[in-house]
Amino acid sequence: MCHVIVTCRSMLWTLLSIVVAFAELIAFMSTDWLIGKAKPSSSEDVDNRTGGLQEPYHPTLGIYGRCTRISHMQFSRRDTLCGPYAENFSEIASGFWQATAIFLAMGIMILCTVAFVSVFTMCVQSIMKKSIFNVCGLLQGIAGM
């Protein structure tokens, strides 16, 4: 019975480790770190497909990406274009954002490594009399700081 509980806990821990690693990666890639005020509606904001007004546009900025509104000349309809604004590390918005990028990238690397190792803990639970769970838990704590 005890072995079944340990196996279920390790499977849950493995699944959650993978989910958290992907969530951190998505957060890093997100352009929604800073969301600007809604731009006022104008007569150009009419949606040609529905005839109604488009949703108000909110410019956004992420660690290295942003979303901006691009107007098409021929349709007078506006779309949002998202992509990187920083082609190299020195073009990231500020020193604080550069530090965020470094620490977040290091945390993501550690979390991805732990998620990868956690798959193997279902077969091997200790190496050199050290519990892999304890070591990986410590690494996860460091990555979350």
Please tell me the predicted confidence (pLDDT) of residue 73.
43
Cα separation of 76 and 71, whole Å? 6
Dihedral Cα 138, 142, 144, 145, nearest 10 deg: 140
pLDDT tens, 94-136?
Answer: 899 899 899 999 999 999 998 888 887 777 777 777 777 788 8
Domain extent listing, the chain? 9-33+55-144
Cα separation of 21 and 61, whole Å? 22
Residue at token pair 């274009």: 81
pLDDT tens, 15-60?
Answer: 888 999 999 899 888 888 888 887 655 555 555 555 555 567 777 8
pLDDT tens, 51-81?
Answer: 555 567 777 888 878 887 776 544 444 577 7
What are the b/e assignments for 35-70, b being 16+ CB within 10 Å? eeeeeeeeeebeeeeeeeebeebebbbbbbbbbeee
Q: Which long-range contacts (CB under 8 A, 24 or more apart) does 15-23 make?
A: 17/111, 17/114, 17/115, 17/118, 17/136, 17/140, 18/115, 18/118, 20/111, 20/115, 20/140, 21/108, 21/111, 21/112, 21/114, 21/115
